């Protein structure tokens, strides 16, 4: 019933995709509709998309004023994104574990989970826009980035991080590190010409980490022992 009301939109979106407008072409429309159990007709927003997997239609019943595209993208999709963030807060950070006997203890645990949520959210926002880390879920970041083990060598002017060569996400880590304003990949000397960048003496590890500018620590003066 509803699909028949948007057949013209679906045809227009399919023609737009065939003409090379985009890989996924969307069209928006609206109409009045009343189900059998409704006493009055209500406004329905339709979003029709033509993509590689075929046509996809979404319908929203609303009484808000505004254009169909603005209501769908700025109101409906924003509400869905808020629900996804709440789900990440509960599922990926286990914020629903409030089994303490006192309410103040449970409230404090929720505050700690919220602090972890903001740290994960800011860490994800630091990733490049073209990187898969930008849309990664919190559990993926926790398991594939934070929990990756590797030796960290702190030097006077730089910090080196060595990760295993079998790291599943090693291809995206240098790009994420390069996006940080305080970090950069080490490119100066110290390696043979026939050795790939990042290789270490241990074949199971590869340096993909970065350098970070740090203040040079002044050396302490040494006491001179008088000669007899």
Q: Which long-range contacts (CB under 8 A, 24 or more apart) does 139-145 make?
A: 139/91, 139/92, 142/92, 144/168, 144/169, 145/169, 145/173
In angstroms, what CA-CA distances link 95 with 114, 117, 174, 189?
Answer: 8, 9, 31, 47
Would residue 38 count as lying in a domain?
A: yes
Instruction: Point out the domain boundary residue: 65, 84, 103.
Output: 65
Would residue 181 count as lying in a domain?
A: yes
Q: Over 60: is that where the pLDDT of 112 sits?
A: yes
Q: Residue 170: its pLDDT value, please?
A: 65
Instruction: Indicate left, alpha or beta for 4 from its phi (over 0: left) and psi (-120 to 50: alpha).
Output: alpha
Binned at pLDDT 50, 70 and 90, residue 59 comes out as very high
Q: Residue 183: its pLDDT value, please?
A: 55
Q: Residue 42: its pLDDT value, please?
A: 93
User: Tokens for 188?
Assistant: 């100066």
* CA 76/CA 71 separation, integer angstroms: 6
> Which helix (DSSP H) or strand (DSSP E) does residue 206 occupy?
strand 205-207
Q: Residue 132: its pLDDT value, please?
A: 79
Would residue 228 count as lying in a domain?
A: no
Would residue 173 count as lying in a domain?
A: yes
How many Cβ atoms from other residues are within 10 Å of residue 151's Cβ? 13
Instruction: Point out the domain boundary residue: 11, 34, 65.
Output: 65
Report pLDDT digits (tens) over 188-218.
444 333 333 333 434 443 434 444 444 445 5
**pLDDT average, residue stretch 101-121:** 90
Would residue 28 count as lying in a domain?
A: yes
Split into its structural domains, the chain has a count of: 2
Would residue 18 count as lying in a domain?
A: yes
Among the residue ranges 4-13, 54-63, 107-116, 143-152, the one predicted with the least confidence is: 143-152
Binned at pLDDT 50, 70 and 90, residue 222 comes out as low
Nearest to 179 by CA among 121, 148, 115, 134: 134
| SS3 assignment, position 116 | helix
Q: Residue 98: its pLDDT value, please?
A: 84
Among the residue ranges 12-21, 49-58, 142-151, 174-183, the one predicted with the least confidence is: 174-183
Q: Over 80: is that where the pLDDT of 17 sits?
A: yes
3-state DSSP helix/strand/coil % of the chain, to nearest 5: 35, 20, 45
**pLDDT average, residue stretch 41-53:** 91
In percent, the amount of the chain with pLDDT more than 70 equals: 73
Would residue 101 count as lying in a domain?
A: no
Buried b (16+ CB within 10 A) or exposed e, 78-101: eeeeeeeeeebbeebbebeeeeee
User: Tokens for 215?
Assistant: 């203040």
Binned at pLDDT 50, 70 and 90, residue 43 comes out as very high
Would residue 136 count as lying in a domain?
A: no
**Domain range for residue 44?**
2-65
Report pLDDT digits (tens) over 120-141.
888 888 887 777 788 888 888 8
Q: Residue 203: its pLDDT value, please?
A: 40
Instruction: Point out the domain boundary residue: 45, 65, 85.
Output: 65
């Amino acid at each position: 019933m509803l699909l028949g009301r948007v057949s013209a939109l679906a045809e227009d979106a399919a023609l737009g995709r065939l003409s090379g407008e985009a890989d996924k072409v969307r069209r928006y429309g609206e109409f009045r509709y009343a189900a059998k159990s409704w006493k009055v007709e209500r406004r329905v927003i339709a979003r029709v998309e033509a993509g590689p997997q075929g046509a996809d239609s979404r319908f929203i019943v609303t009484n808000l004023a505004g254009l169909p595209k603005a209501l769908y993208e700025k109101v409906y999709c924003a509400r869905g994104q808020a629900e996804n963030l709440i789900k990440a807060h509960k599922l990926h950070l286990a914020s629903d574990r409030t089994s303490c006997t006192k309410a103040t203890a449970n409230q404090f645990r929720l505050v700690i989970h919220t602090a972890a949520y903001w740290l994960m959210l800011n860490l994800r926002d630091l990733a490049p826009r073209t990187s898969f880390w930008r849309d990664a879920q919190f559990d993926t970041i926790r398991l594939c980035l934070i929990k990756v083990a590797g030796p960290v060598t702190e030097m006077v002017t730089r910090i080196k991080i060595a990760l295993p060569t079998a790291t599943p996400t090693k291809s995206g880590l240098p790009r994420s590190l390069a996006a940080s304003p305080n970090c950069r990949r080490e490119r100066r000397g110290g390696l043979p010409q026939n050795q790939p960048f990042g290789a270490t003496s241990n074949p199971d590890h590869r340096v993909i980490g970065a350098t970070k500018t740090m203040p040079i620590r002044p050396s302490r003066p040494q006491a001179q022992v008088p000669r007899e």
